[in-house]
Amino acid sequence: FTGKCWGSLNAKPVLCLHGYQDNAGTWDTLAPLLPHDISLLAVDLPGHGLSSHIPTGNAYHLLDFVLAIQRIVNHYGWKKISLMGHSFGSISGFVYSALYPEQVEHFIALDTIKRFNTDPARKLKNHGEILDKFLHLDSLDPKSSPSYIYEDAVEHLHKSMEKCTTKGGCEILSRRGTIKMTDGSYSFSRDARLKASVDLSYTWQYVLQFAANVKCKVLHIQALQGLTLEKPEEMDEFLDVLKKSAALYESHTVEGRHYVHLDFPERVAPIISDFLKQK
């Protein structure tokens, strides 16, 4: 693992989990706005940022990222933790909170909160194509990855994310999301095999059971122009279950897009600060 921290690791930090194909840089603008007595540890999850890729022949599964959280917890010997996640990092934190309900004190979910649910028939229909895509990506020579001058790498990333964040946000993500090659050009550091998500969804009943097992205090901050992956009626049912199981459920909606915490951190920092003060 690689990562970065704000504050002292002598104080138990909030473990910060970035989104899919992002990196720990996603917290660079938010972290300085939080109270100085709040310690943060942000990691690059496997295959992301500056962390190692998994060996050739292996695929990424959601539980690999949940395992990464537990490896960090075991390494530091923490008995209780608080988690803050954005997008896929929120989903990983949600699953961890359900699997280890007695270990989590606070769980902060930015924009996305619940595990994706997929109809089994639909999943079967598309899964073969996804596996073939993975096999193709797994066979590629990493040295053949395209490279750019740094400004073009940022522009390339922005073109794929312009509906979610600003170009300034993409530049921040590119600081850990690119590596400098021997010829002076830059290549994206994330594992190309992440483009083939072989196992990121469960059935609806499974998702509800996860929600029923979350016992910690939960803060959900939604962006008005954020991701809308769920049917409203399913989200309502999910939240009904979560509110009954969680020690506390607090929800806020703020103006912004999916990366509002990166683009406009001042809109979410006071909410997070107040929530973490709760004992």
pLDDT tens for residues 223-256?
A: 999 987 778 888 999 999 999 999 999 999 999 9
How long, in residues, is the chain?
A: 279
Contacts (Cβ under 8 Å, ≥6 apart) of 113: 90, 91, 94, 218, 220
What is the share, in percent, of the chain residues with pLDDT greater than 70? 95
Return the SS3 of 15: strand
Distances (CA, A) of 54 to 45, 60, 64, 68, 194: 11, 8, 10, 12, 11
* Residue 126 lies in domain: 2-277
What's the pLDDT at 201?
Answer: 65
What's the pLDDT at 198?
Answer: 64
Neighbours of 119 (CB within 10 A): 11
Kindly report the pTM of this predicted structure. Answer: 0.93
Backbone angles phi, psi at 85, to 5 degrees: -130, 150
Active-site residues, by number, are: 87
- Which spans in 117-268 are helix H? 120-139, 150-161, 167-177, 204-212, 232-245, 260-263
- Inform me whether the pLDDT recorded for 200 exceeds 60: no
What's the pLDDT at 2?
Answer: 94
pLDDT tens for residues 152-171?
A: 999 999 999 999 999 999 99
Domain count across the chain: 1
Strands (E) located in the chain: 2-6, 14-17, 40-44, 81-86, 104-110, 116-117, 178-180, 186-188, 201-202, 217-225, 248-257
Contact by Cβ (8 Å): 220, 109: yes
- Residue 128 is part of a domain; what is its CATH number? 3.40.50.1820
What's the pLDDT at 18?
Answer: 97
| pLDDT, mean of residues 204-230 | 91
What's the pLDDT at 271?
Answer: 98
pLDDT tens for residues 71-90?
A: 999 999 999 999 999 999 99
Interatomic CA distance for residues 72 and 15, integer angstroms: 9
